[in-house]
Amino acid sequence: MTSSSEAHPREYITIYFNGEAYKVPKGLTIMKALEYAGFRFTRGSGCRGGFCGACPVIYRFPGDYKVRVGLACQTAVEDGMFISLIPYVPLVERIPKREELKPEPGYVVKLFPEISRCVSCNSCSKACPQGLKPMDAIQAILRGDLKKAAELTFECIACGLCSLRCPAEIRHHAVFRLVGRVVGVHYISRAKSVETRVREIESGKYNKAFETLLSMPMSEVRKIYEEFMKTGRLPEFLEVK
């Protein structure tokens, strides 16, 4: 719940957005601080929890050449920050249908030929707000190890910052999505337990039990559950073997 502001006075700091200074409360994220300052987002705000990649941000501190990266919804403001939002990175691609996906490294390179231009500069990895290693993933693809590449990029949120920094102009998250799909479709065996259960349900195995349950008053169903909580056992007509 929110608290009263009087009992807990706030400390203010100054941030710079698009070059303008704004006084904002300490402790907020960049996104919340800019909203506090009067901005209303349509672009550049999505899940607000670090999962969707809508709010990549770059910033610098005075007297420091280093470009820093983050997600506006996850990065706390600091005094003196110069901030720029990058709500959109153009990555144009053709998305193949699942039936077209081929479990071959050469297939990924064919769709994204630019990955062979990777010079291993590691700029992409330095730009990743998730702390992933996109360069290692690109190299893994070039070595033919799609599984490794998929593993390295499983937590990619597709913000696009790496692609902005890449001298080889690689469309990283499109590449990684393709690799993930090839691996998901072709390299992982299907779970047999799941298929078995689906077949059982389709065969109508539980129909009778459900029909009985649905015909009972809720108070009776509740009693069954209370008994189940105590003994761990269901009445016989529900124990479908």
**Which residues, numbered 95-134, are part of the site for other proteins (CB under 8 A)?**
95-98, 130-131
Nearer to other proteins, 29 or 163 (CB): 29
- Interaction residues for other proteins, span 15-34 (CB under 8 A): 27-29, 32
The site string for other proteins over 138-177 (x = CB under 8 A, - otherwise) reads ------------x---xx-xx------------------x
User: For the chain, what is the largest distance between any 2 Cα atoms, rounded to a whole number of angstroms?
Assistant: 75
Nearer to other proteins, 169 or 211 (CB): 211
Sheet with 68-71: strands ordered across: 20-25, 12-17, 82-85, 56-60, 68-71
Number of residues located near other proteins, criterion CB under 8 A: 78
Identify whether the C-beta of residue 98 lies closer than 8 Å to the C-beta of residue 182. Answer: no
User: Measuring CA to CA, which residue among 52, 17, 51 is closest to residue 35?
Assistant: 17
d(CA 16, CA 29): 14
**What are the tokens at 105?**
């490294």
Give the binding range for other proteins (CB under 8 A) out of 3-11, 57-65, 110-118, 137-145.
3-11
**What are the tokens at 91?**
């990555």
DSSP 112-124: -GGGGG-----HH
Give the binding range for other proteins (CB under 8 A) out of 41-49, 57-65, 103-111, 138-146.
41-49
Give the binding range for other proteins (CB under 8 A) out of 57-65, 113-121, 162-170, 210-218.
210-218
CA-based angle 45:67:24, to the nearest 5?
A: 50
- Interaction residues for other proteins, span 53-92 (CB under 8 A): 54, 70, 74-76
